[in-house]
Amino acid sequence: MSFEDWRRIDVDKYDPDYQYTPDELPEEKAGATAADMQALTQTLRGLIQRMEIAQAFATAIEYAPYGAAEEVRVSFLKAVFEIFVSVKMNDVAGITKQLDLDTLDTVVKFLYTLMGKDWALKQSGLLLVWLDKIVEQVGEGPIIRYLSDPYKL
């Protein structure tokens, strides 16, 4: 970009309140359906039963329905919520150590989104344990990245 092009910069896309439209998201994420979420939920439950929690998070992240309809996002969040509540509090630290930084960033995004849901409030203590163990391990970086992330679930 040359000096003359400064007037052509789309400053709105740097606004933290800017909402992405479905056509700006990858097709497979914007077009997720309830049937897709049902299949994902079954896959996640299988991983949870085998206690492959790190793989469950990786699968959930891969198929996160950004830009999908509200009922699809709620179904997805309930499936992710099952991952969090299936782990005993004593095992949380061990699992967070298995996750890389990018995965931890997304897990923090899931945690904050779930903390805002009425149906997840009964387990807010467990969600806070997850957040505490992540911050213990890598610091406040994931929280800061969540706050500045334009993609919301």
Backbone φ and ψ for 9, nearest 5 degrees, come out as: -70, 130
pLDDT of residue 129: 96
Spatial separation of the C-alpha atoms in residues 76 and 87, rounded to whole Å: 18
- Is pTM beyond 0.85? Reply is no
DSSP-assigned letter for residue 153: -
* Angle, vertex CA 57, rays to CA 54 and CA 62, nearest 5: 125
Tokens at 13, concatenated: 């896309």
For residue 72, pLDDT over 50 is answered with yes
Which pLDDT tens digit goes with each residue over 17-69? 666 565 555 444 556 888 889 999 999 999 999 999 999 999 999 988 877 88
Q: Give yes or no for a contact between 63 and 36, defined as CB atoms under 8 angstroms apart.
A: yes
Half-sphere exposure of 142 (CA within 13 A, CB side): 25
Average pLDDT, the chain: 85
Residue spans of the domains in the chain: they are 23-148
Which pLDDT tens digit goes with each residue over 117-133? 999 989 999 999 999 99
3-state secondary structure of 151: coil
The domain made up of 23-148 has a fold known as 1.25.40
For residue 111, pLDDT over 80 is answered with yes
Q: Name residues whose C-beta falls within 8 Å of residue 95's C-beta, 6 or more positions apart in sequence.
A: 53, 54, 87
pLDDT of residue 149: 81
